[in-house]
Structure 1
């Protein structure tokens, strides 16, 4: 297991790392220790190991002690030459020790073979899971680096567009540029800001994925800070989280039940007997009451295997609940990011649509005054149409982002629908 993981890590690190990729080993190491998927796979492997040990236990010797006390209503004794024989004492004590040695149990050997195959499958599955997670961590890390570059490029594009807008405004004030040129520059600024909003959203989502996979909540130096959650208990109303927590509680209860296998069993009993064969007692009816204790001192480690199995199942259930809670938190965080980006894009699309419409109007005026060509008018009209389409999409995206946020928070959607 560890060998394959080390090989995977070595192969990933052997790739040509870009500048600033020195943090990747830290993320990989953190993922191996904190990632829920890897933890669940390890818990399943532990469960398979425990089941294998339990299967072996049915083929090994076992030792059992029994003790009992019975209070009989009547005592039966008889006199033999030279001694008194007690046939049925008033206070009866019993004890026994049983050693069981299995000589042949075909079903047990078959179950052992199945447990061995299951353990091998769990080991292979755990190895495959770790490999996939480490690869996903590396992919998310490089996605984060690429997203930072895109954000930087988008920010530079906004700066360039704003500088162009200022230049055109100065030229328009001196009469060397048309008013339509000013609106065109304004449209380009709006589009650049929309692209920057997209880039920021993509970068934040990439960092969120990296944090989810590696378990490192603190962002690396120079990364975008994730948006804070507005909900104090993200996903607290989601039924799947409650179901996962209920399964964890069930597994914990089964673990406690497995621990009671070390305690002895005490049973109280009472009986009434009628017979015409009175024997030495001389009574047709008699009763007996007693307490018996059964204590299994050694069962070839089957109890230990059962407890280990219960431990593994409980750990898996806890990790499943943790992963569910983390997934719900990530869904809500991403929904907040999507809503913020959609709001920025909607505002940029509104400005762009206004600018494109005004540009088209001014070009039409210039066309009538022979100061613009038909091509200018066609291009301006096409830009105005594209801006309107972008505005419509931005409005739909904003509405969908609002509904998505309510959905991941477990809130009803009908309250905000018209």
Structure 2
């Protein structure tokens, strides 16, 4: 939408002409009409607000498109990098669970300095037997291998479920981050377009003020008309400053999301930048699509399975555990046996028969966690359904509002044209023409706002139904 260009072609042609009309005194030739050269004279205005020649050529900064912003966010967003780091950490859950079933080997050694060496001689032995050396060294290696550990079976399965939940959580974070970037971009693009409209409106107000001054100088209008034109020009300057600051703030927020300097301008998005998902044709299909495609819904369902696996893990604590053990030790003192190194191998069976009611308490706790996860699942599903319904309603309202705003622009344009004709014929006053043009500018700004609302509503509906994935670089597959 090139609303600023449209506003230029409409509003500037509505500036009151100083041509002679019935009952009016024509101005002197030393005060030329501002209608003929509105943009050329604006550059020499005494206004404190510097004006660019057009809204789209104010700076030489490169343009950033919506697709480029989303791609840049996925590449270097700090929040997305943090989500990827959390996902990488979660991938170690399975390895941690399997470590309980893999062999564990422990090595230990010791050095002891004794006060003196102890030895004694046996009858018939050629050498004395040393019982204790003054510098005594020893070493030991112990190995342990789980053979039957029932609690590890659900623990390993739960670890893999935890990895899937973490992956879905990270994917949901990725989509939310990209959704925030798209929202920020569309907001900045709308503010830029609104800024251009305000700048063009200021040019029109300046033209009106010059025209009113010329007419006042020749006695064609009262001083009230000149004061009104001056006030309108000052208000337009204030709106330009406000719109520029709002646009700069929006760009700063977008740059923070993209982790880049504010060295760009946003390009106006095309009408098809945010397409309407085909799956949102009716409420039932939209809700079903959302429950099937949204990562947070899938994660909530897996959390229920994870809670049930935790209860099963507590139940398996009632079963015995069997381990294979091995030990190798050596010392620099042979002792009475004359053997400095030895080894052992065996099986170790353990069975916790009573632990003071800890397992029973854990069972009750795990049952509560299952109930909590099930309630969270229901709550998530109801929240998703509500978001889908709201997004559909807001999109419908935004489309109706946009249609109404466009009709208002057409009506306001026609009113401005008729007011110009009436003014030239002497049938209306200057203040009436000013009010009509102010209505036209307001209609233009309303159209900009409603166009943004349509884009944002489509974006929100795509997110609510789980179809917002602009890059397709999913961090985890959604079941």
Tell me the TM-score normalised to structure 2 length.
Answer: 0.40
Higher helix share: 1
